[in-house]
Amino acid sequence: MSDTNNLVMDLPVPSSLLDIGAQGLIGKPLSRSEGPLKVTGRATYSAEYAIPDLAYGYLVGAKFGRGKITRVDADAVRGLPGVIDVITDFATFIRNPQQGGESKAPAQGVKDVQYFGEIVAIVLAESYEAARDAGERLVVEYEEAEGRFDFEALKADSEKGTFNNIPGYFHQGDLDRAVADAHASVDVVYTTPSQNSAAMEPHASIAVWEEGTLTLYGSYQMPSSDKLQLAKALGVSAKKVRIIAVYIGGGFGSKLGVAPESVAAAVAAKQLGRPIKAVMTRPQVFETTVRRASTEQRVRFSVDAEARLTGVGHETKTSNLPGESFFEPAGVGTHFAYPGDNRVINHDIVRLNLLLAGSMRAPGEASGMMATEAALDELCHKIGLDPIEFWRRNEPKEAPEEKVPWSTRQLLRCMEEGAERFGWDVRNPEPAQVRDGEWLVGMGMAAAVRSNMLMKSAATVSIDPDGRATIATDMTDIGTGTYTILGQIAGELLGLPLDRISVNLGDTNSPPGAGSGGSWGAGSSGSSVYLACERLRERLAAAMGCVPDELTLKDGIATARNRQIALAELVGEGLEATGQIAPGDMETQRKQASYGAHFAEVGVNATTGEVRVRRMLGVFSAGRILNAKTARSQCLGGMTFGIGAALTEDLVHDPRNGKVVNHDLGEYHVPVNADVPQLEVHFLTERDQFANPLQAKGIGELGISGAGAAIGNAVFNATGIRVRDYPITLDKLLDQLPPI
Amino acid sequence: MHFTINGTLYQVEVDNRVSLLDLLREHLALTGSKKGCDHGQCGACTILINGRRINSCLSLAVMHQDDDITTIEGLGSPEDLHPLQAAFVSHDGYQCGYCTPGQICSAVGMLDELKKGWPSHVSPSLRDVDLNDDEISERMSGNICRCSAYPNIVDAIRDVAAAQA
């Protein structure tokens, strides 16, 4: 018998059960519970399920940027050995992936091609080799049409962004006046390129129909909403779709919504009456999943004679496909990071025929803070003020726009602790003064902010007659550590060691979880497990004849009123409870975010302009840290994404047809081991009672926010060169390097 | 054709277009070796052929008659981990786990190369080869980890190498 413990976050939770648990699991640097499976190759990812009678599907993309398909010469390849069929369902195939969390189908219809690489057909064969061969030979005839490919040429023709987590347009006071009256100001334009999440596992789906019900083994971050999108796209009831995503080889936003391979595999499997496996090639991942959109950001800061901010301007031009409302919300962090009475934070969208623009790790803050934190460094340099001193004078007491209190905000503490640990005091603020052999050496720092979100999430926790607990939710673990932290939460509250807890994730037959995105996974999904366990504790207390406060649960033994009973005995035929969390008034009554500070030391080669990150350190505050080991790893990952964004990552679109020129990992340069020094990560102790019952906040995206700016600022300190066009590649430094 | 994989002799008939990686994953149900790019650019498919590391996506199955092949499944099992596998778990040398089998196979091959004194780009000279963090990072740079566990991967490998020394 299951009952449900619901909590809407309308009130703070000042005392968390995690602090009275006796098991001692929470916060500990425990190794991932699924680790032994991953390191031995036994963890099963989407493309790896052994399904009987499976046929292979090879996706075929348009080799033109805009136009209409007139004919697909399927007959020419149908006769090839091993080839079964060519499926072209122009109406049902999806044009591009869906954005995360949507309940409706993505844009459908592929006869009218909107971008280079759009998936228009799937070739089915008995072997992968036969499918690939036929797919490469398949002739798709088309009439080319004029497209919009060149951001630079078309950027004047834009439309205002409509609401996307934040308003597209926001203004307060009179920024122009503030700048005109300022003691000092900066007015600079930064650009960031398109980027790709480039998760190591390519998007993959195996579609299996049985008696009108589809099971899709798909590499997806948010199965409960992905299921709705897939059902809508296929025109079937959501009850007839099940998504299984037990292990996901990275996502970073690229697997939030269903992607073209899922619908193509499902359509083909239904038509053929056999299971179909469709895996994107690496170039297809780059061409037809999702990009972080390029931006052009005008940043203005104005200060008075005491260096207090009087004005903040952050105006972003970005791009997306026709009909897609998502815009890269570069100003999302600006709304609350910086005070100043006079404010303009705007976003304009240029319609372009390029692959979908959507969420990639920290949409908004990641590219936005590369501009604002660099512009702030420019301002500090101009007025001769250390950036940390600038923040001391400007740290706002409350959210500058909503005028509500912070839930917590330890930005300055992060900076001060980071400065001490990093040795910031030895930095020479005068650029291009430090030399180490052939290297110009500089230090830079930047703030990190990332909004905290809570999403509706449910989980069921049961205790079996043998005293083992099982957690079930369709929440996912994309490398974030969900398996481990959910086990830790349940173990802490139920008094069970991790090896007596099973965590079953990524199956939409389980209660709907928040999914992995927006750094909300641990807080939301963890709270649902917390709530289920809270209810189980009540039931266990009742069985012990006491109130929950009197109950101590440890190592599978319940203790109360001088009695000890094994959990296995206490639960009889077993207990089960469901927990469900939902956001409430705390979302608006407190401004919730995670904070941090990045410090970087770079060497810039005096002759070649090559930039190497020599040291990098981050201090973060994100509420309660649930697992010190996996949380640190999340920050390492974020900081490394920051290194890539600052120095190497640049998705290049051919301005003639929109084709992604560098559509593989040899040409799109993500950081490799030798690009990343032994990064240092530190956490401040914090509890956020306004966030959720765990008092924990998101951490997966905090590490990237501001990281790239710290590196750019270090390059300026090393060389005196301010590169406002990311990434900072050597060609942008070479002609301005100081004389040797 | 025949070859040995993880100590077991296999006899198979194979389409000459099948890569060694696809043979493992699609024909022999050895899915531990991962396909990240199929271009030899990411290293997720790294396995050991006669003790040396290779990108199995860049090699055709038919080129491996009589070879002694070791994949991640052959290094250890969840109940009996290879020292590197155990070190990757304890140092959190991974997150999503998809590049991990390649990283570990690559590390096995790499440590053997170091032991034999093979120099790398960062070695001070052709004969002066030492085990340090720079050498590990350089020699592991053919294995991309987008989750970016690199510092932990270096820690894990350094630990195992020190124990072996």
Which residues of chain A have a CB within 8 Å of the CB of B145? 200, 673
Q: Could you tell me which chain A residue has the CA closest to the CA of B104?
A: A39
Residue spans in chain A of domains classed CATH 3.30.365.10: 2-30+455-583, 46-146+201-289, 292-453+589-736
CB B65: neighbour CB atoms within 10 A? 9
N-term to C-term CA, chain A: 77
Of B38, B71, B79, the CB nearest to A41: B71
For B62-84, what is the mean pLDDT? 98
Q: Under 8 Å CB-to-CB from B41, ≥6 apart: which residues?
A: A282, A664, A665, A666, B144
Instruction: Burial-class residue A732 by CB neighbours within 10 Å (0-12, 13-18, 19+).
Output: middle
DSSP string covering A348-396, please? EEEE-SSSPB---SSTTHHHHHHHHHHHHHHHHHHHT--HHHHHHHH--
Tell me, rounded to whole angstroms, the distance of Cα A660 from its chain centroid: 22
Of A32, A202, A641, the CB nearest to B92: A32
Residues 418-447 of A with CB under 8 A from B: none
Of A45, A129, A481, the CB nearest to B98: A45
Q: Under 8 Å CB-to-CB from B116, ≥6 apart: which residues?
A: none
DSSP string covering B2-33, please? EEEETTEEEE----TT-BHHHIIIIIS--TTS
Q: Could you tell me which chain B residue has the CA closest to the CA of A642?
A: B148
Q: Which of B57, B150, B153 has the most A C-beta neighbours within 10 Å, making it the best mutation to test the interface with A?
A: B150
DSSP string covering B55-122, please? EGGGSBGGG-TT-EEE-HHHH-BTTB--HHHHHHHHTT--SS-SSHHHHHHHHHHHHHHHHTT---TT
B3: closest CA among B47, B46, B40? B47
| CA-based nearest distance B153→chain A, Å | 9
The CATH code for residues A292-453+589-736 is 3.30.365.10
A594: closest CA among A487, A479, A703? A703
Asked if B35 and A676 come within 8 Å (Cβ–Cβ), the reply is: no
Please determine, for residue B41, whether its predicted confidence score (pLDDT) is greater than 80: yes
Residue B135 in contact with partner chain A when CB distance is under 8 A: no
Considering the four listed CATH numbers 3.10.20.30, 3.40.1440.60, 3.40.50.720, 3.90.1150.10, the one that applies to the domain covering B2-75 is: 3.10.20.30
Of A39, A127, A250, the CB nearest to B88: A39
CA distance linking residue A649 with residue A641, whole number of Å: 9
For B105-115, what is the mean pLDDT? 97
Give CA angle at A712 (A679, A666), nearest 5°: 70
Contact present, A622 and A686 (Cβ < 8 Å): yes
| CA-based nearest distance B162→chain A, Å | 18
| CA-based nearest distance A14→chain B, Å | 32
Which residues of chain B have a CB within 8 Å of the CB of A481? 95
Residue A201 in contact with partner chain B when CB distance is under 8 A: yes
Sign of the Cα torsion B149, B154, B159, B163 reads positive
Asked if A42 and B100 come within 8 Å (Cβ–Cβ), the reply is: no
| CA-based nearest distance B27→chain A, Å | 10
Contact present, B162 and A646 (Cβ < 8 Å): no
- The structural domains of chain B, with segments of one domain joined by +, span 2-75, 83-164
Spell out, as residue ranges, where chain A has pLDDT lower than 50: 1
Asked if A250 and B72 come within 8 Å (Cβ–Cβ), the reply is: no
Fold classified for A46-146+201-289: Aldehyde Oxidoreductase; domain 4 (3.30.365)
Is domain A2-30+455-583 annotated with CATH 3.30.365.10? yes
Give CA angle at A302 (A448, A157), nearest 5°: 80
Of A200, A279, A639, the CB nearest to B44: A200
Please determine, for residue B151, whether its predicted confidence score (pLDDT) is greater than 90: yes
CA distance linking residue B103 with residue A25, whole number of Å: 29
Asked if A637 and B89 come within 8 Å (Cβ–Cβ), the reply is: no
DSSP string covering A333-349, please? THHHHS--SEEEEEEEE
Give CA angle at A22 (A625, A15), nearest 5°: 55
Which residues of chain A have a CB within 8 Å of the CB of B38? 281-282
Asked if A34 and B31 come within 8 Å (Cβ–Cβ), the reply is: no
Largest interatomic CA distance in chain B: 47
Residue B45 in contact with partner chain A when CB distance is under 8 A: no
Residue A81 in contact with partner chain B when CB distance is under 8 A: no
CA distance linking residue B64 with residue B66, whole number of Å: 6
Cα→Cα distances A635→A482, A602, A731, B149, B155, Å:
15, 19, 30, 10, 16
Considering the four listed CATH numbers 1.10.10.10, 1.10.10.60, 3.40.50.720, 1.10.150.120, the one that applies to the domain covering B83-164 is: 1.10.150.120
Buried b (16+ CB within 10 A) or exposed e, A388-427: bebbeebebeebbeeeeebbbbbbbebbbbbbeebebeeb
Residues 86-105 of B with CB under 8 A from A: 86, 88-90, 92, 94-101, 104
Indicate which residues of A carry an active-site annotation. 701
Tokens matching residue A255:
């697997």
Q: Could you tell me which chain B residue has the CA closest to the CA of A32?
A: B89
CA distance linking residue B80 with residue B78, whole number of Å: 6
Residues 660-679 of A with CB under 8 A from B: 664-666, 670-679
CA distance linking residue B110 with residue B117, whole number of Å: 11
Give CA angle at B114 (B110, B118), nearest 5°: 105
Largest interatomic CA distance in chain A: 83
DSSP string covering A600-656, please? EEEEEETTT--EEEEEEEEEEE-BS-SBHHHHHHHHHHHHHHHHHHHHT--BPBPTT
| CA-based nearest distance B108→chain A, Å | 13
| CA-based nearest distance A306→chain B, Å | 41
CA distance linking residue B140 with residue A367, whole number of Å: 29
Contact present, A130 and A639 (Cβ < 8 Å): no
SS3 A422: helix
Residue B37 in contact with partner chain A when CB distance is under 8 A: yes
Asked if A31 and B90 come within 8 Å (Cβ–Cβ), the reply is: yes
Cα→Cα distances A611→A154, A716, A733, Å:
32, 11, 9
Instruction: Burial-class residue A71 by CB neighbours within 10 Å (0-12, 13-18, 19+).
Output: exposed
| CA-based nearest distance B138→chain A, Å | 5
Contact present, A133 and A79 (Cβ < 8 Å): no
Tell me, rounded to whole angstroms, the distance of Cα A7 from its chain centroid: 26
CA distance linking residue A664 with residue A651, whole number of Å: 10
Provide the pLDDT for residue A2. 64
CA distance linking residue A376 with residue A307, whole number of Å: 11
Q: Which residue has the tokens 């839930």?
A: A407
Which residues of chain A have a CB within 8 Å of the CB of B100? 38-39
Provide the pLDDT for residue A740. 80
B165: confidence class by pLDDT, cuts 50, 70, 90:
confident
Asked if B145 and A200 come within 8 Å (Cβ–Cβ), the reply is: yes
Of B36, B37, B154, the CB nearest to A678: B154
| CA-based nearest distance B66→chain A, Å | 23
- What residues are paired with A124 via a beta bridge? A57, A85
Q: Which of A30, A39, A276 has the most B C-beta neighbours within 10 Å, making it the best mutation to test the interface with B?
A: A39
Which residues of chain B have a CB within 8 Å of the CB of A50? 29
DSSP-derived pairing of the beta strands B46-49 and B52-55: antiparallel
> Helix B150-164 to helix A628-647 angle, to the nearest 10 degrees?
120
Residues 248-287 of A with CB under 8 A from B: 248-252, 279, 281-282
Asked if A637 and B26 come within 8 Å (Cβ–Cβ), the reply is: no
Residue B12 in contact with partner chain A when CB distance is under 8 A: no
One-letter-per-residue 3-state SS of A497-524: CHHHEEEECCECCCCCCCCCCCCCHHHH
CA distance linking residue B47 with residue B60, whole number of Å: 13
Provide the pLDDT for residue B164. 85
Cα→Cα distances A682→A400, A523, A579, A627, Å:
28, 20, 32, 13
A102: closest CA among A249, A227, A288, A238? A227
